[in-house]
Amino acid sequence: MVNPPVVSPYTPAMNATDQTPSTPAADPVEHLRVAVRQAIVAALGTEYADVDPVIRASQNPQFGDFQANFAMALAKSLGRKPRDLATEVAAAIDFGDLADPPEIAGPGFINIRLKPDALARCLEAMDDDALGVTADPDPHAVVIDLCGVKVAKELHVGHLRATIIGDALARIFERRGRLVHRENHLGDWGLPIAMVLHELRASGTNLDTLQLADLNRAYRDAQLSARADPRGLETALRTHAGPHRIIELREQNAGAQDALDAAKATLVRLQGGDPELVRDWQKLIDCTMRSVYEAIDLLNVDLGPENNRGESFYRDRLPDVIDAFARAGLAEEDDGALVVRFPDRERPLVIRKSDGGFLYATTDLAAVRYRVHELNGGRVIYVVDARQRDHFRDVFDAARRIGWDQTPDHRTAELVHIGFGTVLGDDKRPLKTRSGRNVTLRSLLDEAIERGIDAVRERATDERAPTHGLPDAEIARIGRAVGIAAIKYADLSNDLVRDYVFDMDRMVAFEGNTGPYLQYAHARTARILGDSGLDDDAIDDAPLLLREPTEKLLALALLRYGQAVAQVTDSLEPHRVCTYLYDLANAFNAFYQQCPVLKADDDETMRSRLRLCRLVRRVIADGLNILGIEAPDRM
């Protein structure tokens, strides 16, 4: 016996003639797109089979649920009036039992209104484990460069953006079934690290009890001790400055050179594999990463030691990068340095210094090669601040010229730099402390958590609040989730390339477009379901009765979830999920205000509305999860 073909519940089931979809799936848009495209072919011929019907959600419910907006652009190319063309195509549309006959509006819009029963069936199809999110069939991995910690330096607010944006993108790709490699490209090699290592050893610091404060101090002292001032000495000699000033500058420059020479000697020994130095070097990394993991844990970010692949990982691959470009004739010498030139820009990409040393570009080229060839990355995404735009443009173009953007099965990998904007203070300048220093990530998170706990504790004083009477530990747990949600959502809900002003008061608010507002919407649905006293079995089979306008609008909002998630994997813009969740929460609140749930007119209506509430709860929880945000049941 031959098994029947398997039809995914998330794609349209077609009838025998491959015409109008016969059974609604979780997203009705694809059904509508198929039906309109077939009508375009029927009206104009098969040469128009690839015309996009441009199906969009209607902005005004009184004109329908969706619009087909293809007529304006297509009519212009045909030299026809858009309304006449829309009328001709509409006459050929057969939506079957999915929608009412289409209506023409304005200059050529085709308005579409789903039938209530069809809308209910679409929603029922969505009410499963997938929640309307389709699997991405691409077998290639997605590689995401995120966090970008520099060893021996404390995390600052810039690391916040690189970390949570990268983690959100990784979660969204994983939600669609893709294999994702999170790559924390540690700055753990080279002269700066050798300088810190030499300073720590020279000062007698016990590396077995090394603390982050020791690293910060050593980093600062190493930079100061190696800071020469040759121009100052030159000026002092030319202007006949006093002998004390000249002696001071000569000693400074001599001391700086001695410190630099000592650090270089340390680097040579480290590169040579000196066992004692390698052990001490590892202690620097361990100390740095302990601090990182504490912040990562607070942020609910999926990143661990297995994701660390820093500059040291690629150090043995760098000579081959140089040899490969030289053999391919893609690099040339320039004053002893080796550079790659591009026909459309004056700046070259330096891949080897005149003294034979390597640069960040050399390491990044080795990383591209590894991520595409060995990790099979079909999309390699770098979440690094916007100031590195030109650097990555040059690195990517060099990688393409040598063919390192080709996967093992000859797929051209997409190399993408997501350059995010800056976090600003009230003065519209990069966020700093009052002393002018960079804000540490940990201090930012501690403040957010404190504010979140205060907000939850204040609300818990109301005897009607679900949190009233909870133990302090539970209040603190919820408050921590609220504070972290405030930080992450405020960041992710913005267009990534734009700067944004850090406003803690607005971020922790339970109203408006904030993380706590979405968490509160989730908690409200959880409370309604809990107060009903019904278990899932009593709700699972409840028919969805979408009789009221706000019920229908909520159903339509729910059905857009899968599309919203898919759009992010295309656009790499997490704020689209944030916007969707905010719209869904607003639709739920409108429904909640207009449609009594537990006090519905009859049991059938109550169960239908409870099923709607449960679906809202599941979608908000799922959406917050792919943003890395917790969804408490009580707030």
477: exposed, middle or buried (C-beta count within 10 Å: 0-12, 13-18, 19+)? middle
The whole-number pLDDT of residue 18 equals: 42
What's the rounded Cα separation, in Å, for the pair 381 and 462?
Answer: 47
Helix (H) or strand (E) holding 521: helix 515-532
- For domain 13-126, give the CATH superfamily: Arginyl tRNA synthetase N-terminal domain (3.30.1360.70)
Does the pLDDT of residue 19 top 60, yes or no? no
Do 441-626 and 13-126 fall under one CATH topology? no
Give me the mean pLDDT over the 606-620 stretch: 98
Exposed/middle/buried for residue 338 (C-beta within 10 Å: 0-12, 13-18, 19+): buried
Query: What integer pLDDT is reported at residue 1 of this predicted model?
Result: 33
Strands 349-352, 377-383: pairing kind: unpaired
Query: CB neighbours (10 Å) of residue 164?
Result: 27
pLDDT the model gives residue 6: 29
Structure confidence at residue 300 (pLDDT): 94
Whether the predicted pLDDT of 154 surpasses 90: no
pLDDT tens for 433-459 read 655 567 788 888 999 999 999 999 999
Q: Which residues pair with 305 in a beta bridge?
A: none
Q: Are 459 and 465 in contact (CB under 8 A)?
A: yes
Phi and psi torsions of 96, nearest 5° = 60, -135
Q: Which two tokens stand for residue 65?
A: 């649920």
Total residue count of the chain as it appears in this document: 635
Give the long-range contacts of residues 502-510, CB within 8 A, separation 24 or more.
502/157, 502/423, 502/424, 502/425, 502/431, 503/426, 504/447, 504/448, 504/451, 507/448, 508/448, 508/451, 508/452, 508/455, 508/482, 508/483, 510/455, 510/459, 510/635
CA dist., res. 512 & res. 517, Å (int): 7
CA 612 to chain centre: 29
- Chain centroid to CA 385: 13
Identity at 177, one-letter amino acid code: G
**What digits encode the pLDDT tens for the residues 400-425?**
999 999 999 999 999 999 999 888 88
Give the chain's mean pLDDT: 89
Name residue 621's amino acid.
Answer: A
| pLDDT number for residue 425 | 84
Q: What is the pLDDT of residue 248?
A: 61
Q: Is the pLDDT of residue 233 over 60?
A: no
Share of the chain above pLDDT 70, in %: 90
Pairing of strands 55-57, 66-68: antiparallel
Cα gap 145→309, rounded to integer Å:
10
DSSP annotation of 627 = T
Place of tokens 């080229």: 365
Structure tokens given for 400: 């393409």
Q: What average pLDDT does this structure show over 486-509? A: 90
Q: How many CB atoms lie within 10 A of CB 622?
A: 20
Q: What 3-state DSSP class applies to 535? A: coil
Q: What is the pLDDT of residues 312-362, one digit of tens each?
A: 999 999 999 999 999 999 999 999 999 999 999 999 999 998 888 899 999
SS3 readout for 430-470: ECECCCCCECEHHHHHHHHHHHHHHHHHHHHCCCCCCCCCC
pLDDT tens, 363-392? 999 999 999 999 999 999 999 999 999 999
- pLDDT one-digit tens code per residue, 57-106: 998 888 899 999 999 999 999 999 999 999 999 999 999 999 999 999 99
d(CA 616, CA 523): 11
Which CATH superfamily is 441-626 part of? Isoleucyl-tRNA Synthetase; Domain 1 (1.10.730.10)
Q: pTM here? A: 0.87
pLDDT at 463: 93
| Cα-Cα-Cα-Cα dihedral sign, residues 550, 556, 562, 568 | negative
Q: Which residue has the higher pLDDT, 249 or 201?
A: 201
Q: Indicate whether 550 pLDDT > 50.
A: yes
Superfamily for domain range 141-188+303-418: HUPs (3.40.50.620)
- Give domain limits for the chain: 13-126, 141-188+303-418, 191-272, 441-626
Pairing label, strands 377-383, 414-418: parallel
Whether the per-residue pLDDT at 17 is higher than 70: the answer is no
pLDDT category at 236 given cuts 50, 70, 90 is low
Is the model's pLDDT at 13 over the cut of 50?
no
- Write out 204-255 in H/E/C secondary structure: CCCHHHCCHHHHHHHHHHHHHHCCCCHHHHHHHHHCCCCHHHHHHHHHHHHH
pLDDT of residue 2: 33
Q: Which residues contact 298 (CB under 8 A, 6 or more apart)?
A: 445, 449, 480, 484
